[in-house]
Amino acid sequence: QVQLVESGGGVVQPGRSLRLSCAASGFTFSSYGMHWVRQAPGKGLEWVAVISYDGSNKYYADSVKGRFTISRDNSKNTLYLQMNSLRAEDTAVYYCAKEDTAMENWGQGTLVTVSS
């Protein structure tokens, strides 16, 4: 069965960096686009970024453009999100999701808290 496991979250000071990982299993990772979606405490879902199956195309939400970078290593079945210049408003649970006809599978999320 499809499994997506995020890691790398934690508490970080404003202006610092953090890299999230999403380990995928149970499907052919290299055949699917992947998303990062975040959810601030008590708030709704916010799309962050998407990467195509081969990493050739990447798109970002305006709120993170220029600060976050999505990437993937198909040999390791792993998706990444490099987050730089973090702000308090980036505090959220970050989910990775597999793209097919929809975001059909989601991980359990990893919490990122940006605070001094």
- List residues near other proteins by CB under 8 A: 35, 37, 44-47, 50, 59, 61, 95, 101-104, 106-109
Nearer to other proteins by Cβ, of 18 and 37: the residue is 37
Nearer to other proteins by Cβ, of 12 and 93: the residue is 93
Nearer to other proteins by Cβ, of 23 and 61: the residue is 61
| Phi–psi pair at 31, nearest 5 degrees | -100, -5
CB 37 within 8 A of CB 102: no
Q: Which amino acid is at 44?
A: G
Shortest distance in whole angstroms from residue 66 CB to other proteins: 15
Q: Note the helical H segments in 1-116.
A: none
